[in-house]
Amino acid sequence: MTIVDVLEKNAELYGDEPALIEINPDAKETRRTSWREFDLVEPSRHREHYRREITWNVFNEKANRFANALKMRGVSKGDKVAVLLMNCIEWLPIYFGILKTGALAVPLNFRYSSDEIKYCLDLAEVDVLVFGPEFIGRIEEIADEISRNRLLIYAGQSCPYFADDYYEMTVECSSNFAKVPLEESDDAAIYFSSGTTGFPKAILHAHRSLIHSCRVEQAHHGQTHDDVFLCIPPLYHTGAKMHWFGSLLTGSKAVILKGTSPETIHRAVSSEKCTIVWLLVPWAQDILAALDSGALRLEDYQLAQWRLMHIGAQPVPQSLIHRWLKYFPSHQYDTNYGLSESIGPGAIHLGVENVAKVGAIGKAGYGWETKITDPDGNDVRRGEVGEICLRGPGVMKCYYNDPEATAKTLKDGWLLTGDMGMEDEDGFIFLVDRKKDVIITGGENLYPVQIEDFLSGFEKIKDVAVIGLPDARLGEIAAAVIELKPGVTCTEEEVNDFCRALPRYKRPRKIIFADVPRNPTGKIEKPKLRKIYGADELVAAQNRA
């Protein structure tokens, strides 16, 4: 079975029921809009609508139309079709249309520059690029180069001269598609690593990975056909899509929200009766700040049906969850750990029944195995820090066109994550830090996540990142980049006083008050911080020497 089969099953069982809803808070709110009120092919011409909805039947028909359009242009099994779209109701039908042809879907990060887009298209040997109106300028810069050996398809209004119009391509296509035989072992998708250490790597997954992520998500969070999932993070990333796969498996409704403000999120939960919400740390922080200040009042919304809030994609401060559960005491909570190389979240998860273990990332997820090893590949003892390794049906096949990186990351079926962890006496794994982010100061190993977690407990701090900066005497020192809550003032002395509860060697030697940059999936962009602050420190260290 593949996820294509799941979509077709949903169309049979739940054809006239809602599958996807898009809410655009920036649009003027009008009456509710269904794609059935327009031509099935042309709904994107009506982007001014606040709310759009499609049924499972329309979802499947849209995927079939696009699959036929691709087939007519020579796309076949094994080809690659890239998707460069902002979150929208068209995203998933296009994705499934690609998979139906047997081609590989290649989602692209919407923050990529023109150079990065070209790099990824070339690395993944992409045959077709589907892009939206937000990217016309970036694609035009490289159109002459990238169109020489690939088809460019535009999904939006006023098609640019250098691309084919998605809607004109699909308008005459049948809503039925002759099924292409697919096996779980067949190649399905290429996702790209976050690229926080340079240009991203291309991660090749089989259909086995995609269907396994459906089963993992449903097993962990118990989705039923009556659940409603609120999808906010970008669909190009494995996180958002693989959490939605739990809804796919149960044929339940999902809401694609194009906005992240606390009011927008709560309005969507309330109006659409959402039961499951996956948040990134910054959005949860913003919600708590709005509740603390009184800008957001829970009594203004219908939230009784909201049963689960879960977070992934980055370390989650314990203090954040404790504060959350004070405002939402009836919520189930889960945290999920994974990588794009392990088809996103769920390789390790806390479990809604283990809220007392908040701070841990949890135990091996459904169908997954874990181990923690030393640099020689030997298992470490419980309580010792080592590298987290994963094995299961969701492990990537390889880094596409990069056998050297593949050989370093895949060992005897195990995925070496590059994340350092520790397993406690109960078998729960705690994320310590990225291997590359460990700070060695005066011969001692410092793990920034542990310091960040501690500092997050200071009531004046909204967000914090700890990085290593060069030092002539100690080699490196820990620097804390601190983003304060809105309207709050704080001094270095206050932070240093708070840190007296830490062992002396773990205390940050430098305090920097500044914004903490995070990428679209919530990860702190530490290389950016090191670039901003590291050069000045390096010069100063050299001068002191």
In the chain, domain spans: 3-229, 442-544
> For residue 521, what pLDDT band results from cuts at 50, 70 and 90?
low
> How does pLDDT run across 123-168, given as a tens digit for each residue?
999 999 999 999 999 999 999 999 988 999 999 989 999 999 999 9
> How does pLDDT run across 369-396, given as a tens digit for each residue?
999 999 999 999 999 999 999 999 999 9
> How does pLDDT run across 316-362, given as a tens digit for each residue?
778 889 999 999 999 999 998 888 999 988 899 999 999 888 888 99
Asked whether the beta carbons of 313 and 233 are under 8 A apart, the reply is: yes
Question: Quick one: fold of 442-544?
Answer: GMP Synthetase; Chain A, domain 3 (3.30.300)
Nearest-angstrom CA–CA distance, 274 and 524: 28
Asked whether the beta carbons of 514 and 481 are under 8 A apart, the reply is: yes
Nearest-angstrom CA–CA distance, 58 and 334: 33
Copy the structure tokens of residue 396: 């990537």
> How does pLDDT run across 390-428, given as a tens digit for each residue?
999 999 999 999 999 999 999 999 999 988 899 999 999
Average pLDDT, the chain: 88
Q: Does 31 score more than 80 pLDDT? A: no
Rounded average pLDDT over 172-176? 94
Rounded average pLDDT over 187-202? 80
pLDDT for the residue 501: 87
> How many C-beta atoms surround the C-beta of residue 1 within 10 A?
14
pLDDT for the residue 195: 53
pLDDT for the residue 513: 94
Give the lowest-confidence range in 22-26, 43-47, 195-199: 43-47
What single string gives the DSSP state of each residue in 468-489? EEEETTTEEEEEEEEEEPTT--
pTM for this structure? 0.83
Rounded average pLDDT over 454-460? 89
pLDDT for the residue 250: 97
> How does pLDDT run across 288-326, given as a tens digit for each residue?
999 999 999 999 999 999 999 998 766 677 888 999 999
CATH 3.40.50.12780 assigned to 3-229: yes
pLDDT for the residue 517: 87
Residue among 344, 279, 338, 346 nearest 308 (CA): 279
> For residue 21, what pLDDT band results from cuts at 50, 70 and 90?
very high
Nearest-angstrom CA–CA distance, 484 and 25: 27
Q: Does 36 score more than 50 pLDDT? A: no
Nearest-angstrom CA–CA distance, 50 and 32: 8
> For residue 444, what pLDDT band results from cuts at 50, 70 and 90?
low
> For residue 29, what pLDDT band results from cuts at 50, 70 and 90?
low
pLDDT for the residue 537: 47
Helix (H, G, I), strand (E, B) or coil at 494: helix
Rounded average pLDDT over 467-476? 77
What separation in angstroms does the CA of 78 have from each of 204, 209, 397, 438? 12, 16, 15, 40
Q: Does 33 score more than 80 pLDDT? A: no
* Percent with pLDDT over 90 in the chain: 66
pLDDT for the residue 313: 61
More confident residue, 198 or 33: 198
Asked whether the beta carbons of 38 and 61 are under 8 A apart, the reply is: no
What single string gives the DSSP state of each residue in 292-306? HHTSS-GGGS--TT-
pLDDT for the residue 122: 96
Nearest-angstrom CA–CA distance, 245 and 93: 14
Q: Does 254 score more than 80 pLDDT? A: yes
Q: Does 540 score more than 90 pLDDT? A: no
Residue among 284, 237, 277, 272 nearest 23 (CA): 272
**Domains 3-229 and 442-544 equal at CATH topology level:** no
> For residue 50, what pLDDT band results from cuts at 50, 70 and 90?
confident
> For residue 473, what pLDDT band results from cuts at 50, 70 and 90?
low
pLDDT for the residue 545: 41
Q: Does 543 score more than 90 pLDDT? A: no
More confident residue, 53 or 475: 53
> For residue 37, what pLDDT band results from cuts at 50, 70 and 90?
very low
Asked whether the beta carbons of 302 and 266 are under 8 A apart, the reply is: no
Asked whether the beta carbons of 202 and 124 are under 8 A apart, the reply is: yes
- Burial grade of 274 (CB within 10 A; 0-12, 13-18, 19 or more): buried
> For residue 196, what pLDDT band results from cuts at 50, 70 and 90?
very low
Collect all residues with Cβ–Cβ distance below 8 Å to 286 and sequence separation of at least 6.
260, 261, 262
Helical segments of 108-237, H only: 114-123, 136-146, 166-170, 207-221
Helix (H, G, I), strand (E, B) or coil at 535: helix
CA atoms within 13 A on the CB side of 16: 0
Asked whether the beta carbons of 3 and 99 are under 8 A apart, the reply is: yes
Residue among 189, 170, 179 nearest 81 (CA): 189
